[in-house]
Homo-oligomer: A and B are copies of this chain.
């Protein structure tokens, strides 16, 4: 891995990555390691200026191959996506070997590392991060091929999302910032050790949460929202949810229970940005990953 990129501000109201980039640009030694070159990218400065997630559309869904190659897709985020793809990619033959994209969530997800692949490199990286940061949570979104993902970090052959919360939009919290800085540091350390063939002995396996499905908030027949996440589920990211557990409370007070046939691990619970699509949470299955 010769070229590594750290991206912040893909969403303009997720402040931790944006302030960390500023900090690292003033003090580049914090993110430099001997075995690779590193660059930082402020993905969506206009959205940050406007204090919004995005101006025209969610930037972190604009990196599908067809979309990148479609000149008709020309709004601000689509244009920035093409520019970032030119800078770090192009997807399929990227100049960058590894991209770390920094995100915040309003959900109580703690310091989460989202992997889009579960190859040996990612498995070792996750084991290393968890060994050095016991709070870290590993999420697998490897249900499709890397190239099929439309996330920014899918430009490169390897890419991860560092997703830390809970943090309201447009706020910077020290606990969340510190977690993000620590996790990014461990990832960079791992890449350096990997490059030098000096990865230490790692646990033989670790727990992770493998994405399974996404649930919607309760709606009436007109598509109007009629309920909210149940108070038992709020903030209970990565706690088990079982068939019959209350999951929503309708505004009229009615409790709605979950009708599922597996032990689910909710995350991205009540994420502010997902209300646009009326999403309530993602559900994962707990898995043991062999390193």
A interface list, Cβ under 8 A from B: 19, 22-23, 26-27, 51, 106, 166, 168-175, 177-178, 228-231, 234, 249, 251-252, 270, 272-273, 275-276
**Inter-chain contact B175/A22, CB cutoff 8 Å:** no
> In the complex the two chains form, is B249's CB within 8 Å of A174's CB?
yes
Complex: how many Å from CA A174 to CA B27?
A: 42
Copies in the complex: 2
A172 CA to B269 CA, complexed, in Å: 11
Besides A27-B252, A170-B275, 20 new A-B residue pairs in contact (Cβ under 8 A), listed by A number: A51-B276, A106-B168, A106-B171, A166-B168, A168-B169, A168-B272, A169-B169, A169-B170, A169-B272, A170-B272, A172-B228, A172-B270, A173-B231, A173-B270, A174-B228, A174-B231, A174-B249, A175-B231, A175-B234, A177-B228
Q: 8 closest A-B pairs (Cβ-Cβ)? A: A168-B168, A174-B231, A106-B168, A170-B272, A171-B272, A172-B228, A23-B251, A168-B272
The residue on B at minimum CB distance from A171 is B272
Residue of B nearest to A233 (CB): B174
Chain B residues whose CB sits within 8 angstroms of the CB of A273 once the complex forms: 170
Residue pair B23, A171 in contact (C-beta under 8 Å): no
What distance in Å separates the Cβ of A39 from its nearest Cβ neighbour in chain B? Answer: 20
* Interface contact A174-B234, CB-CB below 8 Å: yes
**Bound-complex Cα distance A22 to B224 (A):** 12
Taking A22-B251, A169-B169 as contacts, is the C-beta distance between A229 and B174 under 8 angstroms? yes
Supposing A22-B251, A23-B251, A251-B19 touch, asked if A270 and B171 sit within 8 A by C-beta, the answer is: yes
Q: Are B252 and A173 in contact (CB under 8 A)?
A: no
Beta-carbon contact of A23 and B169 below 8 Å: no
15 A–B pairs (Cβ distance < 8 Å), ordered by A: A19-B251, A23-B251, A26-B252, A27-B252, A51-B275, A51-B276, A169-B170, A170-B272, A171-B275, A173-B234, A174-B229, A174-B230, A174-B231, A175-B231, A175-B234
Chain B CB within 10 A, most for which of A19, A174, A177: A174
